[in-house]
Structure 1
């Protein structure tokens, strides 16, 4: 059951991201069927997001590298939960998700998705 506090926090996060953010896309690549084979299927999901560069004090060269972005993605209206392996398009650049936090404080309501994106090769 959703906790009313987290539903309000989700609405607040959505308002702030809509005000200060931009339209973007989260693309999920579904691998081919292991038995039947085929081509991987790329499915885009429209999202509202805020990409921000990491502060220099957090960049250690291993976990967080120069060029990595911290991307806040509104959970409202997003059909999927962004996860490692997905690609986020923001500012015209593709970022592969290398780490993420769904921020489900009550275990049910995703307040906001915060992911670490690395420029996709």
Structure 2
């Protein structure tokens, strides 16, 4: 039985996002040490991404609200896996990550990260 090449899918997704998307930033905010305190540390990670508005049929006002964006983020060269609590900068706006899907179909290779972003 032949195995599927998820690295090839990852490369294809990257090419499409690079061609039709834009350069953005995924920022991870690390909270201060619970014992020593201090300030939260903000770490920006450059990313290639494609933000898209949700179709009206998906906006239910609860899970997906008007203004939420579905953001496709290339996993190629991204040092982190975007998750809830991160902030994605796209189209000149900051979007808080509300939900995310790493699309690891084989459990290992992230083909593309798809996150739900909400303006802050």
Scaled by the length of structure 2, what TM-score is found?
Answer: 0.97
| CA–CA distance in structure 2, aligned partners of residues 86 and 5 of structure 1 | 29
Structure 2 gap ranges (5+): none
CA RMSD between the two structures: 0.8
Runs of 4+ in 1 over 6 A off after TM superposition: none
2:37 maps to 1:37: yes
Q: Report the counterpart of residue 27 of structure 1 in structure 2.
A: 27
Equivalent runs, 1:17-96 vs 2, <5 Å: 17-96=17-96
Residue correspondences, number: 118
Q: Deviation at 1:5? A: 1.4
Deviation at 1:4, TM superposition (A): 5.3
Separation in 2, partners of 1:4, 1:111? 12
Deviations 1:3-32 (A, max 9, x none): 651110000000000000000000000000
Name 1:106's counterpart in structure 2.
106
TM-score (norm 1): 0.96
